[in-house]
Structure 1
Amino acid sequence: MITVWGGQTSRSIRVVWVLEEMGLPYRVRQVDMLAAEQDPAFLAVNPADYIPAIQDGDVVMVESIAIMEYLMARYGPTPLAPSPQDPTFPAYQQFLHLGEAGLATLMMPVVVSRFIAPDAERENWGATWCLRSFQKRLKLVSQRLADSPYLAGEAFTAADISVTYALNLGQRNCGIALGDAEQAYLARTTGRDAYKRAMERSHEGVNT
C-alpha cells in the first residue's frame, strides 16, 4: 500500500487527490512541520524534512508534482494525464508545472514572512515581490479559463489539481483576491467527489 507523508493543508493534498481520482489504495501519515523534533521515521524517508513524501514498496519520492507524474505513469493510463499525442497535452504540461514552479513556490516566502517571521520582518521586499509575481502569473490561468472550463481544455486533469492547490494557498494564506472566473473554476474542481474524499482522508491521517 502507498503511504503518503503529509499535512492537512499541505501539498500532500495533491498526491492524495490523485490517488482518490485513480482509486488507488493508500494511507496518510501526518507530519507536523512545526514540531520541535521531527519523527525519525519520517526523516528516514525524507532527510530534507519537507512534505509530501511517499513510500510505494521500495520506491521513495518527494516533490508533489513528481509524485503525481509517477503515480499516473506507474498506475495509469488515466484521464488525469493526456497522452503526448493529444492536442491538449502542451497546455496540460504547462499548467501542471505552473501550479508549483510558477505559483505555489512564490507563496512560500509570503507564508513564512506573515506567519513565522518576527513582526518587523513580515512586510519584506522579497515577500512583496513574490506577491506581485504571483498576480502576474495568475493572468496565464485567467486567460486560459476564458477559453475553457479546465486548464487543459474541456476535461479535468492533474494540471487542475496542481493549480487548484496554488490558488487555494494564495487565497487562504496570502490575501490573493481571485476573480469570478477563478472562483467558479475552484468551485468546479473542489466540488469533485475525489477532492472531498481526499480532504477527509488527509484530516483522518494517522499521526506520526
Structure 2
Amino acid sequence: MITVFGEGRGFRVVWLLEEMGLAYRLRPVDLLAGVEEDAEFLAINPAGFIPAIQDGDVTMVESIAIMEYLMARYGPTPLAPTPHDPAFPAYQQFLHLGEAGLATSIYFVVGARLIAPESERQNWSAGQARRVFESRLTLVTRRLAHTPYLAGETFTAADISVTYALELAQTSGGITLGEVEQSYMARTRAREGYKRAMETCPSRKAWLANPA
C-alpha cells in the first residue's frame, strides 16, 4: 500500500490518490513539533520536509514529482493528458506553475506574515515573493477567463496543483482572490475526491476553517 507522509503539500497527493481510486494510508508528520525524534520519517526523507511517499521499494519527495510518478505508474488516467492531446501543453504548464510559480513564492509570504519576528515581517524579500505570486496568478486568471479548468474543459492534476496554492494564498498568505479564481475553486472543491481527501486530512480541514 502507498504511504503518504505528512499533510501540507501532501494534500495534493492524497487528493490525487482519491481521484484515482488508489489505496493508501496517511502517516502524520508534525513539523511544528519538529521531526528530530521521528526516526521513521527521517529514514524516508532525511531532509525532513513533507510530503514524501513510500510505494513498495520506491521512496519519493516533492509533491508534483510524486503526482507525476503515481499517474505514470498507475495510469493511464484522464487526470494527465497524453503528450499528443491538445490539452497537454496547458496541463504541463499549470501543473508545475502551481508549485514553482505560486506555492513556493506564497510559502515565503506566509512565513513572513505568521512566523517571522514583528520587525522582519515587512522585509523586502517577502514583498518580492508576493509580487512573484501575483504576477504568476495573472496567468491563471487569464486562462480561467476562457476555460473552466486549467487544461481546458476537463479537470486534471494541474487543477489539484493550483487549487492547493490558491488555498494557501487565501488562507494564510493574505491574498484576496478575484471572482474568477473563487468560481474556479468552487468547482474544484466540489469534487468528491477533494471532499474525501479533506476528511482524510483533519489538520488541513481545521486550518482551512480558521484562516490566519
Q: In 2 relative to 1, CA 38–173 (structure 1 residues): closer, same or farther, beyond 3 Å?
A: farther
The Cα shift of 1:113 comes to 1.4
The Cα shift of 1:83 comes to 0.3
Tell me if structure 2 keeps the 8 A contact 1:32–1:38: no
Instruction: Map Cα deviations across residues 120-177 of structure 1 (whole Å, 9 max, x no partner).
Output: 1111110111111111110000010011000000000000000000001001101111
What's the counterpart of residue 59 of structure 2?
Answer: 60
What's the counterpart of residue 164 of structure 1?
Answer: 163
Pick the aligned partner of 2:21 from 15, 20, 23: 23
Partner Cα distance (2:120, 2:37) in 1? 26
When normalised by structure 1's length, the TM-score is: 0.95
Report matched runs for 1:44-55 at 5 Å.
44-55=43-54
What's the counterpart of residue 73 of structure 1?
Answer: 72
Percent identity of paired positions between Structure 1 and Structure 2: 68
Q: Partner amino acid for 2:29?
A: V
The Cα shift of 1:17 comes to 0.5
- Indicate yes or no: 2:176 matched with 1:190: no
Q: Partner amino acid for 2:2?
A: I
The Cα shift of 1:43 comes to 0.5
Count of residue pairs brought into register by the alignment: 203
Partner Cα distance (1:138, 1:165) in 2? 13
Q: In 2 relative to 1, CA 121–204 (structure 1 residues): closer, same or farther, beyond 3 Å?
A: closer
Report matched runs for 1:24-173 at 5 Å.
24-36=22-34, 37-173=36-172
**Which protein, 1 or 2, shows the higher relative CO under an 8 Å CA cutoff with sep ≥ 6?**
1
Runs of 5+ in structure 2 lacking a partner? 205-212
Q: Partner amino acid for 2:113?
A: R
Tell me if structure 2 keeps the 8 A contact 1:89–1:152: yes
The Cα shift of 1:202 comes to 1.8
Tell me if structure 2 keeps the 8 A contact 1:14–1:64: yes
Partner Cα distance (2:177, 2:200) in 1? 27
Partner Cα distance (1:204, 1:25) in 2? 21
Partner Cα distance (1:107, 1:142) in 2? 17
Superposed CA RMSD in Å reads 1.2
Partner Cα distance (1:12, 1:66) in 2? 12
When normalised by structure 2's length, the TM-score is: 0.93
Tell me if structure 2 keeps the 8 A contact 1:15–1:67: yes
- Runs of at least 4 residues off by over 4 Å: none
Partner Cα distance (1:134, 1:41) in 2? 34
Runs of 5+ in structure 1 lacking a partner? none
